[in-house]
Amino acid sequence: MTSAGRFAPSPSGELHVGNLRTAILAWLFARSTGRSFLLRMEDLDRARAGAEAVQLRDLAAMGVTWDGDVVRQTDRESLYAQAIGRLEEAGLTYECFCTRREIQEAPSAPHSPQGAYPGTCRDLDPAELEYKRSMRPAAIRLRAGVADYTVRDVLRGEYTGAVDDFVLRRSDGVTAYNLAVVVDDAEQGIDQVVRGDDLLPSTPRQAYLASLLSIPVPEYAHVPLVVNHDGARLAKRDGAVTLADLAAEGITSGAVRDCLLDSLGLPPGPLERALAVFDPSRLPREPWVWSAP
């Protein structure tokens, strides 16, 4: 299987300029290293009717091209079930009946990061397990054997983050993101993951899970986010931040593309021009404040 990079949005609405900037970067990273570039819709629980078509249109307007068909997570549940089955057979999972509120209110173990699962259901005896099963459906959690894990990032260097007993399948039966993304990347031959640096803290969990499944860990590059003038992560509430909204103000998709490329120190025009001079070592390391062209 050939190596590949990817862009994997959730089809929950229109992409904003921060998403488009990350997509352009993922495309540049992949194409500059001779990789294929794949597109995957992470639609397990956040899909909105018509959103996928709009996202594909906007990516094409930026000049982002992809190889092969678009893949959707909702078509891949059997792959996720197989991976969870392998972990179950190895004794690396357990049933969890905790609600979010119960987890938030439970005392954390010493030195555990905020939000880490405290292990409430990790060692239930048979009677407790049977009782809890009668009360509510269970989520499936990983029985982690480490407290942290280190990954290497092209832009950030070594990064060590916490690993807890994170959810593999939610109590409503939906596969959790951390498992789905690991299985998807491996099955698609993706060995380069370029995404926003807000996802860096979850990466050690994913790399650790990949090691348990004997899956090669991809090369990571977590790129700085686009932020508003207050320094907060850009969102659609920040005004005209989608191509449709900007077009309504007379700003073309080409102008948006050139503005995004300029923020990366790259020349305007078709992405192939930027590709000819693309050098990851020269990319900005700080968040970029969005201002419409």
Residues annotated within the binding site for Zn(2+) are 96, 98, 117, 121
Q: Answer whether 173's CB lies under 8 Å from 183's CB.
A: no
Which carries the bigger pLDDT value, residue 156 or residue 103? Answer: 156
CA neighbor of 25 nearest in space, from 265, 289, 229, 293:
265
Say what the pLDDT of residue 110 is. Answer: 53
Residue 89 has pLDDT above 60, yes or no: yes
Percent of the chain with pLDDT over 70: 97
Residue 220 has pLDDT above 90, yes or no: yes
Spatial CB neighbours of 113, under 8 Å, sequence gap ≥ 6: 162, 164
Residues annotated within the binding site for ATP are 236
Domain pair 4-75+224-289 / 78-169, same fold? no
Residues annotated within the binding site for L-glutamate are 6-10, 42, 177, 195
Say what the pLDDT of residue 47 is. Answer: 75
Say what the pLDDT of residue 209 is. Answer: 98
CA neighbor of 188 nearest in space, from 54, 8, 27:
8
H/E run at residue 247: helix 243-248
What value does the mean pLDDT of the chain take? Answer: 94
Question: 78-169 falls under which CATH superfamily?
Answer: Glutamyl-tRNA Synthetase; Domain 3 (3.90.800.10)
Residue 100 has pLDDT above 90, yes or no: no
Tell me the C-alpha distance between 14 and 52, whole Å: 8
Tell me the C-alpha distance between 68 and 88, whole Å: 33
Q: Answer whether 45's CB lies under 8 Å from 233's CB.
A: no
Q: Rounded to two decimals, what is the model's pTM?
A: 0.93
Residues annotated within the binding site are 6-10, 42, 96, 98, 117, 121, 177, 195, 236
**Would you say how long the chain is, in residues?**
293
* Residue 17 in tokens: 């300029």
CA neighbor of 253 nearest in space, from 238, 264, 268, 272:
268
The fold for domain 4-75+224-289 equals Rossmann fold (3.40.50)
Say what the pLDDT of residue 2 is. Answer: 72
Tell me the C-alpha distance between 186 and 3, whole Å: 10
What's the whole-number mean pLDDT along residues 265-283?
97
Residue 177 has pLDDT above 80, yes or no: yes
Tell me the C-alpha distance between 25 and 20, whole Å: 9
- Reported as a single tens digit per residue, the pLDDT across 21-38 is 999 999 999 999 999 999
Say what the pLDDT of residue 113 is. Answer: 65
R_g over Cα of the chain: 21
- Reported as a single tens digit per residue, the pLDDT across 151-168 is 999 999 999 999 999 999
Indicate which residues carry an active-site annotation: 236
- Reported as a single tens digit per residue, the pLDDT across 239-248 is 889 999 999 9
**Residue 6, CB-side half-sphere exposure with 13 Å CA sphere:** 29
What's the whole-number mean pLDDT along residues 170-196?
97
- Reported as a single tens digit per residue, the pLDDT across 112-139 is 666 689 899 999 999 999 999 999 999 9
Residue 1 has pLDDT above 60, yes or no: no
> What is the separation, in whole angstroms, between the first and last Cα of the chain?
41
Give the domain ranges of the chain: 4-75+224-289, 78-169
